[in-house]
């Protein structure tokens, strides 16, 4: 997988979010959005995409260190979705920034930092994927 660098992912065109919101807690197990949110708000710019996705996968599956080592190579050999497909950028109103080393942080759509990144010269800006095929067809 090619590493994404110097890129800012805007919220999806069809997001229902008017401002960012924290993904809700779920009593039985955390959602993908909640895991991503918690990790990126606790440790912004720590993880590149593949390391971030691997950490989320391990947390979701509740894998220990030995299990992580066993699946690591297989996990990295497969293709994975980028932050354009994240529920944070599609649903919860966060933009995702990849720095020069490809490390990720999120910013609320209503923040000054989001607006600055969205118009920063030299930074590649992309939109998150749409939430539904129907809305993509309506604008085509």
Instruction: Count CA atoms closer than 13 A to 111's CA, side-chain side.
Output: 15
Interatomic CA distance for residues 18 and 83, integer angstroms: 19
Render each residue's pLDDT in the chain as its tens digit; 140 residues. Answer: 568 999 999 999 999 999 999 999 888 888 999 999 999 999 999 999 999 999 999 999 998 888 998 898 898 888 888 999 999 999 999 999 999 999 999 999 999 999 999 999 999 999 999 987 654 444 44
CA 5, 112, 41, 32 dihedral sign is negative
Q: Is 38 exposed, middle or buried (0-12, 13-18, 19+ CB in 10 A)?
A: middle
């Amino acid at each position: 997988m090619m590493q994404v660098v110097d890129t800012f992912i805007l919220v999806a065109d069809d997001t229902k979010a008017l401002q960012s919101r924290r993904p809700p807690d779920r009593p039985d197990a955390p959602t993908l959005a909640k895991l991503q949110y918690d990790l990126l708000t606790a440790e912004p710019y720590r993880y590149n995409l593949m390391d971030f996705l691997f950490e989320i996968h391990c947390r979701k599956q509740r894998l220990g260190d030995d299990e992580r080592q066993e699946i690591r190579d297989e996990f990295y050999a497969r293709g994975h979705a980028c932050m354009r497909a994240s529920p944070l950028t599609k649903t919860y109103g966060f933009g995702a920034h990849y720095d020069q080393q490809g490390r990720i942080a999120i910013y609320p759509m209503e923040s000054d930092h989001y607006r600055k990144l969205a118009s920063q010269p030299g930074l590649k800006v992309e939109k998150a994927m749409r939430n539904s095929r129907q809305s993509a067809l309506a604008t085509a």
